[in-house]
A = this chain, B = another copy of it.
């Protein structure tokens, strides 16, 4: 199948992934890691997944500290298409800058934003959904891919879908974006049906995105377009840009105005927020312990869970049914899937103790 004409992928590569310590570190964040043992990092897998749609039209936006590593991991990408943010200014500035750069190069372009650290095992279903989203976006809509919830997650925002969009295959009007719910509300969303996870996958004409942004945040839109027009102004203009998420800046107000469409995303998706969410994404290791690394490095006796053998050493687990062991050359983490979210607290403690060498 040919690539999608005029479609550009925007890949925000940010976030430290502190819940994935000690694999992820400040200097080696989640998206630069091959978390699933596939042989490709999350960033590379993201670009690989988009390649058949974009034909190489990809812009990555990342922190200045990681731009060199990103370029090294993506040798096929023009280094100029890796945009380096002088400082983090949240997702609207990141995606908006990429859209403004694309807009100048290709006035009719449709951009799709896909975070560099998400995992989507079913590439075929992903392509089908994105192709439909691009077609709908060409009509001027702000399109979001809405992931079918598999459980009452409290870690994601939700999108409430309304009536089908006339003439579209599966797209529906999006009624509203709702913030991360508590457990009871998340359960109610699943019960009610019609709610989708907001995975931050937006597909929209670059010009539409920036024009929408201009309606509610004109200075931000103007600033981004000014930088795209003259990249030399990046360092001067960037610090004064408004720091706001794309959901708040554009998606929520646009949904209230009735101009957001949701395309169902009937595929598995995960943002690999912690080790508990990593385990189900991994290939079966043939036993109750899922192994990242060489299973021959792991000895399990009456044990189950996840072992990341990345320290070049023997890892032995005895008598723990749901353990997470992450072994690296300078640190080893031991926890459970149930407590995987609290790994962040280790990073907090190390940082508080001045051990920035370890975080």
- Please give the residue numbers on chain A whose beta carbons come within 8 Å of chain B beta carbons, in ascending order: 21-22, 299, 301-302, 311, 313-320, 323, 325, 327, 329-336, 338-339, 342-343, 345-346, 349-350, 355, 358
The closest CB in chain B to the CB of A349 belongs to B299
Instruction: Tell me the complex Cα distance, A138–B327, Å.
Output: 57
Q: How far is the CB of A110 from the nearest CB of chain B, in Å? A: 43
**Given A22-B314, A318-B339, A339-B319, do A299 and B346 touch, yes or no (CB 8 Å)?**
yes
- Count of this chain's copies in the oligomeric assembly: 2
> Which of B313, B318, B336 is in CB contact (< 8 Å) with A343?
B318
- Chain B residues, Cβ within 8 Å of A332: 311, 313-316, 325, 327, 332
**Given A319-B339, A338-B319, do A358 and B301 touch, yes or no (CB 8 Å)?**
no
**Given A313-B330, A313-B331, A331-B314, do A320 and B302 touch, yes or no (CB 8 Å)?**
no
Instruction: Tell me the complex Cα distance, A159–B24, Å.
Output: 56
Instruction: Tell me the complex Cα distance, A350–B298, Å.
Output: 10
Instruction: Tell me the complex Cα distance, A62–B161, Å.
Output: 77
> Are B331 and A334 neighbours in the complex by a CB distance under 8 Å?
no
> Which of B313, B316, B330, B349 is in CB contact (< 8 Å) with A301?
B349
**Given A313-B329, A329-B313, do A318 and B301 touch, yes or no (CB 8 Å)?**
no
> Are A342 and B302 neighbours in the complex by a CB distance under 8 Å?
yes
9 residue pairs from A and B, CB less than 8 Å apart: A311-B332, A313-B329, A316-B334, A317-B334, A318-B342, A318-B343, A320-B335, A325-B332, A325-B334
Instruction: Tell me the complex Cα distance, A330–B313, Å.
Output: 5
The closest CB in chain B to the CB of A346 belongs to B316
> Are A333 and B313 neighbours in the complex by a CB distance under 8 Å?
no
**Given A313-B329, A329-B313, A339-B319, do A301 and B334 touch, yes or no (CB 8 Å)?**
no
> Are B336 and A316 neighbours in the complex by a CB distance under 8 Å?
no
Given A299-B350, A314-B350, A325-B334; 20 other pairs, CB 8 A cutoff = A21-B316, A22-B314, A299-B349, A301-B345, A301-B346, A313-B331, A314-B331, A314-B355, A315-B332, A318-B333, A318-B335, A318-B339, A318-B342, A318-B345, A319-B336, A319-B342, A320-B334, A320-B335, A320-B339, A323-B334
